[in-house]
Structure 1
Amino acid sequence: MNNRVVLDLLIERGTLSRGDVRDLTGLSKPTASQLLTRLEESGLVLPSGYGETGPGGRAPQLYAINPGAGHAAAVDVRPESISARIADISGVVVAEFEITQLPDPRGPENVAQVLAGACGIAGIAVDELDAIVVAVPGSYDVAEDLLRYAEHLPGWQQPGIGEELRRHLGKAAVSLENDVNLVALAEHRASDVAGESFFLLWLDEGIGGALMMDGSLFRGSRGAAGEAAFLLPPGSRLDGEHRSKGAFEGLVGSDALREFAADAGHPVGSTADAIAALLADAGAAETIQEIAQRYAFGLASVIALVDPSRLILAGEVARIGGSRLGDAVAAHLDRLVISAPPLGLAAVADAPILEGAMLLSLDLARESVFTT
């Protein structure tokens, strides 16, 4: 237990002296010294220079986590690309690699390929990874070992998908996780507020959501909690197509936003281009308000059910929309609900899916390495 406490302190603070360990843990001087010696002998800790000279005229030896003691990997699986990131056990990113033209057949075997490329850059073997978190645009049902809501992801629909993935990835602890859940995890770490509850609405090529309850991700009984595309706000249709793709997706998803842009005279190929064109068009102000109201309709249902302490808009559409879109959504919410929680934009803008996946992967890797 003392070992793990000190290792976690080293992760948090970077370096510690024997005196620091004694002061932070309450351990006696001999025990703190023995503990650091034991961790150094185990290969988990390395000497890391000297601190400032103290009253006795001697500079204390500093210690740091041995970055090579373990490695964690994060993988982001998209319909047309797969990207990977590897970090050493201290959290420093040592490699990134991406495949933008996926070979057939598509599926878990392509994850092994992108990880092999990333590991080659990092100078390690895939078998040396201690944890791998794979982010997928769908909901992973752990009990059934099945990925749901992922019809747009070729090669990932078969039962036993997690077991198949593990067969391709060697010895590491492998976890499948919904991509938007991982964005919420990154936001939670960025806020550094213990025990908070919030709902994150993902606005990108697709619509998604994630629910943080009392500081923990709420995944639901089958991993499908937060699938905001399937909300049924006013104006949505429930026919065969919208039942499979989501009624809220039909109202505010990629097709809807591109249709709005085309009607305003801006035929574009992506959701991001659609919202950018509408925002730049002074004559499309009413359209922006209509889109914001539709987002607010969906969020109003979430508020009624879970009463989150705050709402977050994330994804490329939210980033491009910025405060103008966010303020419009908040204004419509104030008219729809009695007491709307604060609404803000995501704090993590750079590859938030990979960021969240890496945070979870490092947690799993450290649990494995530090408790061995």
Structure 2
Amino acid sequence: MTSTNATLGTLRELNARSVLGALVDNGRLSRAEVARRLGMAKPTANRAIEALAAAGLVRESSPPESGPHYGAIYYEPALEVGHVLGIDVGAQFVRGALGDLGGAVLARYDHPRGGDDIPSLLTAVSAVRNHLLAPMDAGADGIVGTIVAMAGVVDPAAGRLRLSSEPSLEGQPVVEDLATVLPGPLEVDNDVNLAALGELARGAGQNEGDFAFLSIGTGVGSGLVLDGRLRRGARGAAGEVDYPGHRPFAAHSPAADALRQLVEDRYGAAAKNRAGSRDEAVPESPTQLFEAARAGWPLAVRVVREEAQRIAGTIAMIALVVDVPLVVLGGGIGLNGGIMLDPIRDRLTELVPYPPRVEISRLGDAATLVGAITVAAREAWPRTITARLAATSPSSSNTSAQGPV
């Protein structure tokens, strides 16, 4: 009897998950539409909807404004039954977002990073957490999942950060450390992979089955989406095209350090030779460099074009292996890529037989946060469904009333 009840309960939950998934994906549907989309018998769909409604996971909704409705009752997911947190640990800022279970970002807050050690990181993360949770009555109790994005790869067995661009964090047990200040369940994931998932969900990759996200900033990393799925590689290190300590093409890297060296070399040579651009002020940051190039300063234009050549070389490595039709640029330098798009595209036609389209991220510096919220929401649903159905199922009520059998 116990085995039969467990099997029936599992089947009911699986049906409920399928129905709720259809509602989350489509916004609102009638009972008949749910059954038709899932290939499910109408009585089965009706029972699943009734169970979900009793658990507070779905509710009746107004019908669509267009089209015939024939008196059908529509349902929508109750996306506010839980909230998720997304945290993006950048070089200068810790960015955070609060989201609902539909993956929508409800609030965002950025806090200066401070030092590069673990205590400073935890202080900044705590500040972001407190700011985002302050308006919530339930506080951390209302959070059903948290995803933290960091540069590098987290060892799944030890929870330690590997291939980090920050020496002070290399090998640190970041999952354990972050769990002391963030509500769980908690996961730590690669920032560029999450950015790729953000673009897939709500950005330039929405209608693309295959594309690469290339982040160019303090370091260079890429996230690869094939057949609509993120590809992590055997050890989670797919896309680490330019990680510290092993840069076979460091002299041609488009990362920030290499770009700063390029600026010093070109401006230093111009000053030494007293050539035409010697009166240009030396840019102190990539932002100033791109501003000067947009203003038409000759030497800045030259340096930006050289940076475009380096970016094209990195894209070519990816394109020659996986032949993606689209590469989306992000990161502090990549988001300035508008001025570089034409030279990047021109160079790509010389480097690869089938050059991909190159676009700038539509999500800007929020791509990683959007990805984190999307993943956190997707992973929170099964836990939320299980807990709420268990709390409202007739069998649980009968068991509690009768006592243990």
Question: Which bin holds the TM-score, normalised by the shorter protein?
Answer: 0.7 to 0.9
Which residue in 2 is equivalent to 1:335?
A: 350
One-letter amino acid of the structure 1 residue matched with residue 256 of structure 2: S
* 1:215-268 deviation line (CA, Å, top 9, x unaligned): 3323234433212324xxxxxxxxxxx736785387422234345456152323
CA distance in 2, matches of 1:351, 1:107: 20
5+ unaligned residues in a row in structure 1: which ranges? 231-241
Matched, 1:65 2:77: yes
Root mean square deviation, CA, Å: 3.1
In structure 1, what is the Cα distance between the partners aligned to 2:44 and 2:99? Answer: 31
The answer as to whether partners of 1:108 and 1:168 remain within 8 angstroms in 2 is yes
User: What is the CA–CA distance in structure 2 between the aligned matches of 1:299 and 1:59, rounded to whole Å?
Assistant: 54
* TM-superposition CA deviations, 1:250-292 (whole Å, max 9, x none): 7422234345456152323322222232232252443333222
What corresponds to 2:307 in structure 1?
A: 291
1:20-169 map, 5 Å = 20-49=33-62, 59-100=71-112, 102=114, 105-108=119-122, 110-152=124-166, 156-169=169-182
- Structure number with greater Rg is 2
2:163 maps to a residue whose letter is: Y
Counterpart AA for 2:330: A
- Taking the aligned partners of 1:217 and 1:87, their CA distance within structure 2 comes to 21
Q: Could you tell me which amino acid in structure 1 is paired with residue 138 of structure 2? A: I
**Cα deviation, residue 109, structure 1:** 5.7
Q: Who is 2:396 aligned against?
A: none
Are the counterparts in 2 of residues 52 and 59 from structure 1 also a CA contact under 8 Å? no
In the alignment, is the contact (CA less than 8 A) between 1:144 and 1:159 conserved in 2? no
Say whether 1:224 aligns with 2:240: no
Aligned counterparts, 1:309-324, within 5 A: 309-322=325-338, 324=339
- In 1, Cα distance between equivalents of 2:68 and 2:231: 52
d(CA) in 1 for partners of 2:232, 2:68:
54
Matches of 1:21 and 1:224, distance apart in 2: 39
User: Aligned partner of 1:12: which letter?
Assistant: D
* Aligned residue in 2 for 1:273: 288
Q: CA deviation at 1:7?
A: 0.7
Structure 2 partner of 1:14: 27
Larger CA deviation: 334-343 vs 82-91: 334-343
Q: Secondary structure at the match of 1:229?
A: coil
CA drift of 1:349 comes to 2.6
Alignment length, in residue pairs? 356
Judge conservation of contact 1:313–1:343 (CA < 8 Å) in 2.
yes
Q: Once the two structures are superposed, what CA deviation does each residue of 1:312-369 show, in whole Å capped at 9, x if it has no partner?
A: 22233333231x4122112112212333333333333351111111111111112322
Q: Tell me the TM-score normalized by structure 2.
A: 0.76
Decide whether aligned partners of structure 1 residues 152 and 64 sit closer, same or farther in structure 2, where only a CA change above 3 A counts: same
Change (3 A) 1:109 1:218: farther
CA shift for structure 1 position 158: 4.7
| SS of the residue 1:209 aligns to | strand
Q: Is the 8 A contact 1:318 1:326 kept in 2?
A: no
Between the two proteins, what is the percent identity of the paired residues?
29
Q: 1:65 to 1:337 in 2, by over 3 A?
A: closer
- Contact in 1 for aligned 2:323/2:354 (Cα 8 Å): no
Q: Is the 8 A contact 1:73 1:129 kept in 2?
A: yes
* CA deviation after TM superposition for structure 1 residue 52, in Å: 6.9
1:246/1:363 Cα in 2 relative to 1: closer, same or farther (>3 Å)?
farther
Q: Which residue of structure 1 lines up, in the alignment, with residue 196 of structure 2? A: 184
- The alpha-carbon distance between structure 1 residues 35 and 330, as it changes in their structure 2 partners (threshold 3 A), is same
Distance 1:224 1:30, change over 3 A: closer
> SS of the residue aligned with 1:224?
coil
Mapped to 2, the partners of 1:296 and 1:254 lie a distance apart of 16
Counterparts in 2 of 1:88 and 1:274: CA distance versus 1, 3 Å: same
In 2, the alpha carbon distance for the partners of 1:249 and 1:224 equals 22
Q: TM-score, normalised by structure 1?
A: 0.82
Assess if the C-alpha contact under 8 Å between 2:329 and 2:359 holds in 1: yes
Residue 18 of structure 2 is matched in structure 1 by: 5
User: What whole-Å deviation, never above 9, does each CA across 1:75-113 have from its counterpart, x for those lacking one?
Assistant: 111233222111122334333333226488223464344
